[in-house]
Structure 1
Amino acid sequence: MARLLLIHHTPSPSMQAMLESVISGASTPEIEGVELVRRAALAVTASDVLEADGYLLGTPANLGYMSGALKHAFDTIYYPCLDSTTKRPYGLFVHGNNDTVGAVKGVETITTGLGWERTADHVTVLGEPGKQDLESCWELGATLAATLSP
């Protein structure tokens, strides 16, 4: 069974709503053969990343960058996973109050270094997530899961 690892930092109600939509999409019953594994960004290990076949990443945009928790996760896993996870698919969802550009750019820089392949459009939300934003999060989760489905 393929393993989809969801690495997230969800400190706000907006991020929590987005996370729940991503989880719902990634675990929809129509997609079979994919196990969704959830890890808080501060708890993820290199073993979690090495054992996964694809990744969903969720972060708030804090002070123009990804959260310190997600950056810590990348710092923890980067070198142990550098040569072993290339070409694996990933997707990203980001929430910001004013701007998400720096957070997206930071994640793209690191995932490019890891050799991960962006499989779906990033979901970026400013302010309170609306119905369309949450549907986009659902689609992100479902797209990544479908990518890994046999």
Structure 2
Amino acid sequence: MSKLLIIANTPSTNTQALRDAVVDGAQSAEISPIVLSPFDANAEHVLQAQAIIIGTTENFAYMSGALKDFFERIYYPCLEQKQGLSMALYVKAGNDGQGAKSSVERITTGLRWKHVQSPLILSGDYKPEFAKDCYELGAGMAEGMKMGIF
């Protein structure tokens, strides 16, 4: 069975709702994702994944500290073995989200992971359409896996 890994920093009810929408989208395509916080995920989870969706908050124009910790722990164990891993990113940003997006892209470029969807940046105060966008992100990733695109 295809393994979709969802790593999401969820410090608030709004960010939990976004993660849940991504999960619901993936499940709509009959994929049962593995859903973990950045602190609970490790290199073994990544090594077993066929694709990954990363969710982060924007903190000080950077990714969350939790996500940075995750990358620091998995970088070298996964560097050679997971090149080309299909990935998607969403950022819940109080500002424009570009710093968080760029910081994740620098690390995932170093890992040689492949963005299969454009990063989704959800800027400003929480809006209900953010959950719809996250649902579509999860559904798109899962459909791509199901169809064997990645």
Aligned residue pairs total 147
Matches within 5 A, 1:25-64: 25-28=25-28, 31-32=29-30, 34-64=31-61
CA distance in 2 between counterparts of 1:35 and 1:116 reads 22
TM-score, structure 2 normalization? 0.93
| CA–CA separation in structure 2 for the residues paired with 1:35 and 1:125 | 24
Q: Residues 52-97 of structure 1, C-alpha deviation per residue, up to 9 Å, x if partnerless?
A: 1000101100011000000000000000000111111111111111
Q: Which runs of 5+ in 2 are unaligned?
A: none
Identity %: 37
Q: Which residue of 1 aligns with 2:19?
A: 19
- Provide the TM-score with structure 1 as the length reference: 0.93
Q: List runs of 5+ in structure 1 lacking aligned partners.
A: none
Q: CA deviation at 1:100?
A: 0.8
**Residue aligning to 2:84:** 87
C-alpha distance 81-43 of structure 1, shift in aligned 2 (>3 A): same
Offset at residue 141 of structure 1 (A): 0.4
**Distance in structure 1 (CA, Å) of the matches to 2:82 and 2:2:** 14
RMSD of the alignment, in Å?
A: 1.2
Distance 2:12 2:22 in 1: 15
Partner of 2:54, secondary structure, is strand
Amino acid at match of 1:26: A
Shift of residue 99 of structure 1? 2.9
